[in-house]
Structures are given as structure tokens and as C-alpha cells.
Amino acid sequence: MKAIGKSKITRLRPKKDIEYPLIRLPQSHSHLVGETAYLFETEHNGKPLFVISLDEDFDGCIQSIPKTDNSDLETRVELLEKQIKSMNKSASGDGCGCRDSNPGSKLGKLRSYH
């Protein structure tokens, strides 16, 4: 499921004693005008959650598929975070964390610029 926009719930009052809450879809969905929408309501984190379907046979059951693949950016950030943690753990106490007393470690191969 993806987010398609944000809409304030407004009021539609066709007659003095009749009031409807109104939620507008983005303009990019104007081709749906005139279609019949089927509305479903549930609850999520203590707040109402609405599902709108144009499928008459939709039973209101949605299965959430957990995200399994990280994007390339997320994978790279995760790798960098792990490398930084590893460097911080093995860095000597010289104040800058740029050198390691163990010349065989990866940190021992880094240049020091001080």
C-alpha cells in the first residue's frame, strides 16, 4: 500500500438537517468520478482506518506483506553504520579515533590528518 495524498475531512451539508463528512481524493484520480466506492472501517493504533475499494467483490481483508528487501541506499547506510561501530570499538584512545595501535587492523591502514 502506498500513500497517495493527504486530505482534510470537510463537511458536506446538502440540507440543513443532513451532514456528511467529505474526504477528497487527489486530482490525479479524477477519472474515478462516477464510480461506486465500497467503504470499510477498522481500527489502527486506536484510530479509525478506512479502506476504499472499487471492487464490488472485495471482502475487506487486506494482507500486509512485510518489507524484506532493503533499498540500495538503506543497505549502504546499514553497512556504513556497522563499519563506524566497528571502528569506534577498536579505536585507540588518542582522542581522534583515526588510528589503531594494532597495525594489522583496518584502522591501522587509515591515514591520520592531525
Mean pLDDT of the chain: 77
Name the residue range of residue 93's domain.
72-109
Assess if residue 22 is contained within a domain. yes
Q: Is it the case that residue 31 has pLDDT exceeding 90? A: yes
Q: Residue 108 pairs with which residues in a beta bridge? A: none
Assess if residue 33 is contained within a domain. yes
Assess if residue 18 is contained within a domain. yes
Q: What is the mean pLDDT of residues 86-92?
A: 73
- Interior/surface letters 74-83, b for 16+ CB within 10 angstroms, e for the rest: eeeeeeeeee
Assess if residue 60 is contained within a domain. no
The residue type found at 110 is: L
Q: Is it the case that residue 65 has pLDDT exceeding 80? A: no
Assess if residue 41 is contained within a domain. yes
Stronger pLDDT, 20 or 94, i.e. the higher one: 20
CA distance 44 to 89: 41
Q: What is the pLDDT of residue 111?
A: 39
pTM of this structure: 0.50
Structural domains counted in the chain: 2
